[in-house]
Chains A and B, each alone.
Chain A
Amino acid sequence: MTDQTALRYTAEHEWLLVDGDTATVGITAYAAEKLGDVVFVDLPSVGATVASGKVVGEIESTKSVGELFAPVDGTVTEVNDAVVDSPELVNSDPFGEGWLIKVSFTELPPLLSFDEYTALVGE
Chain B
Amino acid sequence: MAIVTGITTDELLEESGFAERHIGTDADAQAKMLDVIGYRSVDALVGAAVPASIHVDGFRAAAESSLPAAATEREALAELRRLARRNTVNRSMIGLGYYDTITPAVIKRNVLENPSWYTAYTPYQPEISQGRLEALINFQTMITDLTGLTTANASMLDEGTAVVEGMMLARRASKAEPRAFIVDSDAFPQTKALLANRAAAVGIGLIELDLAAIDPQELPAAFGIFVQYPSASGRIWDPRDVIAAAHSMGALAVVAADLLALTLITSPGELGADVAVGSSQRFGVPMGFGGPHAGYMAVRSGLERQLPGRLVGVSQDAAGHPAYRLSLQVREQHIRRDKATSNICTAQVLLAVMASMYAVYHGPQGLKQIATRVTRLTRVLARAASEAGHTLETANFFDTITLRTKSDAARLVRHAHTAGYLIHLVDDERVQLSVDETTTLDDVRAIAAILGEELTDGSVSHDIDWIPIELERSSDFLTHPVFNTHRSETSMMRYLKHLADYDYALDRGMIPLGSCTMKLNAATEMESVTWPEFAGLHPFAPEADVAGYLELIEQLQTWLADVTGYDSVSLQPNAGSQGELAGLLAIRGYHLSRGDAERTVCLIPQSAHGTNAASAVLAGMRVVVVSTDELGNVDLDDLRAKIDEHANTIAALMITYPSTHGVYEHEVGAICKAVHDAGGQVYVDGANLNALLGFARFGDFGGDVSHLNLHKTFCIPHGGGGPGVGPVAAKAHLAAFLPGHPFAQRDFTPAAGKPAHQNIVSAAPFGSPSILPISWAYVRMMGADGLKRATGAAVLAANYVAARLRDYYPVLYSGDNGLVAHECILDLRPLTESTGVTVDDVAKRLIDYGFHAPTMSFPVAGTLMVEPTESEDLAEIDRFIDAMIAIRGEADAIAAGTWTLGDNPLHNAPHTAQSVIEGEWTHPYSREQAVYPVRSLIRNKYWPPVRRIDNAFGDRNLVCACPPPEAFAD
Contact = CB atoms under 8 A, between A and B. Distances in A.
Q: Do A and B share a complex?
A: yes
Interface of A: 37, 39-40, 60-65, 87-88
10 contacts: A39-B955, A40-B305, A61-B952, A62-B329, A63-B329, A63-B330, A63-B951, A65-B335, A65-B336, A87-B956
A60 B335 CA distance: 11
B335 A62 contact: no
Instruction: Describe A's contact surface by its main secondary structure.
Output: loop
Contacts of B951: 37, 62-63
A64 B858 CA distance: 13
Contacts of B857: 63
A93 to B, nearest CB: 16
A86 B336 CA distance: 23
Interface string B939-962: 000000000000110011000000
Given A61-B330, A65-B330, A39 B335 contact: no
B853 to A, nearest CB: 15
Going nearest first, the 4 A-B pairs with the smallest beta carbon separation are: A37-B952, A39-B955, A62-B951, A65-B330
Contacts of B330: 60-65
B336 A39 contact: no
B955 A62 contact: yes
B952 A62 contact: yes
Nearest to B951: A62
B329 A88 contact: no
A63 B330 CA distance: 6
A65 B333 CA distance: 12
A61 B857 CA distance: 15
A88 B956 contact: yes
A65 B952 CA distance: 14
Nearest to A55: B339
B336 A40 contact: no
Given A39-B955, A40-B955, A88-B956, A64 B305 contact: no
Contacts of A37: 951-952, 955
A82 to B, nearest CB: 14
Given A60-B330, A60-B955, A63-B951, 10 more contacts: A37-B951, A39-B952, A40-B305, A61-B330, A62-B329, A62-B952, A63-B857, A65-B335, A65-B336, A88-B956
Given A60-B330, A61-B330, A65-B330, A88 B952 contact: yes
B304 to A, nearest CB: 10
Nearest to B340: A65
Contacts of A64: 330, 335
A39 B950 CA distance: 12
A63 B956 contact: no
Contacts of A61: 330, 952
Nearest to B955: A39
A45 to B, nearest CB: 12
Q: Which residue, of A39, A65, A88, has the highest number of chain B Cβ atoms within 10 A? A: A39
Nearest to A38: B952
Interface in B256-275: none
A63 B951 CA distance: 9
Contacts of A60: 330, 955
Interface in B312-343: 329-330, 335-336
Nearest to B861: A63
Nearest to A67: B339
A86 B755 CA distance: 53
Contacts of A63: 329-330, 335, 857, 951
Contacts of A88: 952, 956
Contacts of A40: 305, 955-956
A101 B956 CA distance: 21
Contacts of B305: 40
Contacts of B336: 65
A37 B329 CA distance: 13
A39 B329 contact: no
A65 B305 CA distance: 13
A87 B958 CA distance: 13
A60 B955 CA distance: 10
Q: Which residue, of A60, A62, A64, has the highest number of chain B Cβ atoms within 10 A? A: A62
A40 B956 CA distance: 7
A81 B330 CA distance: 22
Interface string B628-647: 00000000000000000000
A37 B952 CA distance: 6
Contacts of A62: 329-330, 951-952, 955
B324 to A, nearest CB: 15
B860 to A, nearest CB: 13
B952 to A, nearest CB: 4
A40 B951 CA distance: 13
Contacts of B329: 62-63
Interface string B855-867: 0010000000000
Contacts of B335: 63-65
B777 to A, nearest CB: 39
A9 to B, nearest CB: 24
Contacts of B955: 37, 39-40, 60, 62
A64 B952 CA distance: 12
Q: Which residue, of B336, B951, B956, has the highest number of chain A Cβ atoms within 10 A? A: B956
B318 to A, nearest CB: 15
A52 to B, nearest CB: 21
A40 B299 CA distance: 19
B119 to A, nearest CB: 27
A62 B330 CA distance: 7
A69 B956 CA distance: 23
A65 B955 CA distance: 13
A33 B55 CA distance: 46
Contacts of A39: 952, 955-956
Nearest to A39: B955
A91 B890 CA distance: 30
Interface in B827-854: none
B164 to A, nearest CB: 24
A78 B952 CA distance: 27
B839 to A, nearest CB: 11
A40 B331 CA distance: 12
A88 B953 CA distance: 10
Contacts of B956: 39-40, 87-88
Interface in B333-358: 335-336
Q: Which residue, of B305, B330, B336, has the highest number of chain A Cβ atoms within 10 A? A: B330
A86 to B, nearest CB: 8
B134 to A, nearest CB: 21
